[in-house]
Amino acid sequence: MSFAWPGLVSAMQLVIPEPGEKTDSQRDPARWVTLPGLCCQAVGGRPNSTLEVSAAWFLLFTAAHIVDSIEDGDNDPLINKLGGTGVAINTTNGLFLSAVMLLQSMDAKEIPKGLVAKITADYLETILGMTSGQHLDLTLQEISLDQWWQIAEAKSGAFFSLACRSGAQFGTSDPLKVHAFSEYGFHVGLMLQIMDDLEDFQLLLNSGEIASPRSLERSLAAAYAHEILPSAIKEEFTQLIRIGAAGEEMSDRFLDILDECGAGLYMVAELEKHYELGMAALREAQPASPALEKLEEIIGVLKAN
Amino acid sequence: MALAQVVYQISTDKDFASRLQTDPQATLAAKGWSLSKEEIAFLLSTLRSNTERTEFRHVVKPLLALRWY
C-alpha cells in the first residue's frame, strides 16, 4: 500500500481493530483474521501464504462494520471519532480499495496466476452478494423468517465462508476439501449472525426500553415470532416493538411473548444445527491436525455460549 | 420452516411435546413435518433435560459476549 495519503491512511488505521485491543479475547474481532491461515494450514499449506487474503478480508470486515453502522443509523462512537458520516464513508472507500490492491499484489508472488485471478474474483463476487443482501435488508418493509435466513446467508454466512475457502485454496486444489472449509465458514458466519442479532435485546434487558425498533423488528427472534404467533398476539407483539415497549411492564410483556412462543429454544436449536453442520464439514476435511483442532475449538466456543 | 413450527408447538402444546419424546417420527409425520436427525436429537435432549437454558432471557445474555463485530 502506498503511504502518499497520510490523512486517509491514519483514518483507516484508526478504525482497524488492533489484535489484543480488547482485554477479553472472545470479544476481539481481530481473532477472525486467523481463519484463512488456519484453513490453509489444516490442508497442509503454509499459513504465511494467506497473508494478503487474510489482510484483505479483515479490511473488508472493518469496512462492512462501518457501512452497516451508517446504514442502520447506529450511534457508533467510531464514526464520531472519524469526524462524522462523510469521513466514515470515505474511509470505507479507502478500505475497500486497499483490500482489492492487496489481492492484486499477490500477482508479484510465486502463486499460480490463475489462482490469484480466481480468488480475486471470488472476493469481488462475494462482496457484491453481501451488498445485495444488505440492499434487501434495507429495502424490505418486513422480513419473514425465510428472508432473515436469506439475508444472513448472503451477508455473514458468505463472508466467513469466503475467509475459509480462500485460505484453504492456498493449501490444496482438491475441490472437496475447499468446499468443506467453505461450508465450515458458512456455518460459523450464521452462528455469529444469530448472536450478533441479539444486541438490541441486551439493551432491552438492561434498560427496559427498545432503542431501535427497526432493528429489533428485523431480528431473528422477531422474524420467528411473526412467523408462528397467532394473529392477535402477533399484533400485540408488533405494537410493543413500534411504541418502543417503554417501561418495565411493557418490556416484560414483550419478553414474555418471546419466552412463551419458544424464541429462545428456536435460536439455540438453530445454533446447535449450524454447529453440527460446521463440524460435519470439518470431518470431511480430515486428516486431523492442530489447525483443524483449533477450527473445532472456534466453532465449539460459539456453541458453548 | 419446519423447525420453527415444531419449536412453537413444543412451547405451546404439552401433549405434543410429550408425544414427540415417545415417538418423534410418527408425531412429526402426523403434522406433515420433517426434521433432520440432528434437529430431532437436539430437541429431544432439551426436552429431557433442563429447559431453562433455552428461555429467551437466558439465551440473550451469554450469547452477546461473542458478537462478530
Determine, for residues A260 and B60 on separate chains, whether the beta-carbon distance falls below 8 Å.
no
pLDDT band at A171; cut points 50, 70, 90: very high
Average pLDDT over residues A159-175: 96
pLDDT band at A205; cut points 50, 70, 90: confident
pLDDT band at A99; cut points 50, 70, 90: very high
What lies within 8 Å, CB to CB, of A175 at 6+ separation is: none
Residue B37 has pLDDT above 80, yes or no: yes
Determine, for residues A261 and B54 on separate chains, whether the beta-carbon distance falls below 8 Å.
no
Q: Which residue has the higher pLDDT, A286 or B33?
A: B33
A267 touches chain B (CB under 8 A): yes
Residue B65 has pLDDT above 50, yes or no: no
Grid cell for residue A30 = 481481530
pLDDT band at B69; cut points 50, 70, 90: very low
pLDDT of residue A246: 63
pLDDT of residue A69: 86
Q: Which residue has the higher pLDDT, A143 or B55?
A: A143
Determine, for residues A264 and B57 on separate chains, whether the beta-carbon distance falls below 8 Å.
yes
Q: Which of A189, A199, A261 is opposite residue B64, by nearest beta carbon?
A: A199
Compute CA distances A44 → A110, A264, A266, B53, whole Å.
Answer: 17, 40, 38, 39
Q: State the nearest Cα–Cα gap between B11 and chain A, in angstroms.
A: 5
Determine, for residues B59 and A267 on separate chains, whether the beta-carbon distance falls below 8 Å.
yes
pLDDT of residue A139: 93
Q: State the nearest Cα–Cα gap between B65 and chain A, in angstroms.
A: 6
The ipTM (two decimal places) reads 0.86
For chain A, which residues make up each domain, given as ranges?
6-196+262-304
Angstrom distance (rounded) from CA A286 to CA A280: 11
Cα torsion at A288, A289, A292, A293 (round to 10°)? 90
> Are the C-beta atoms of residues B8 and B43 closer than 8 Å to each other?
no
DSSP labels, A38-102 = HHHHHTT--GGGGHHHHHHHHHHHHHHHHHHHHHHT---HHHHHHTSHHHHHHHHHHHHHHHHHH
pLDDT of residue B66: 47
Compute CA distances B11 → A207, A260, A291, B15, whole Å.
Answer: 27, 7, 40, 10
Closest-CA residue of A relative to B13 is: A261
pLDDT of residue B64: 45
Element (H, E) at A109: none
Residue B59 has pLDDT above 90, yes or no: no
pLDDT of residue A25: 53
Whether the upstream peptide bond of residue A77 has omega within 30° of 0, thus cis, is: no
Residue A186 has pLDDT above 50, yes or no: yes
- The chain-wide mean pLDDT, for chain A, equals 89
Write a three-state SS string for A159-212.
Answer: HHHHHHHHHHCCCCCCHHHHHHHHHHHHHHHHHHHHHHCCHHHHHHHHHCCCCC
Residue A96 has pLDDT above 50, yes or no: yes
pLDDT of residue A226: 94
Packed helices A85-104 and A6-15: angle between N→C axes, nearest 10 degrees = 90
pLDDT tens-place string over residues A18-75: 665 554 555 566 778 999 999 999 999 999 999 999 999 999 999 998 998 898 887 7
Give the type of residue at B13: D
Average pLDDT over residues A84-96: 95
Angstrom distance (rounded) from CA A274 to CA A277: 5
> Are the C-beta atoms of residues A274 and A268 closer than 8 Å to each other?
no
Q: Which residue has the higher pLDDT, A127 or B49?
A: A127
Angstrom distance (rounded) from CA A55 to CA A34: 10
pLDDT tens-place string over residues A224-275: 999 999 999 999 998 888 776 666 777 788 889 999 999 999 998 999 999 9
Average pLDDT over residues A139-166: 95
pTM: 0.91
Angstrom distance (rounded) from CA A251 to CA A293: 42
Indicate the fold that domain A6-196+262-304 takes in CATH.
Answer: Farnesyl Diphosphate Synthase (1.10.600)
Q: Which residue has the higher pLDDT, A66 or B65?
A: A66
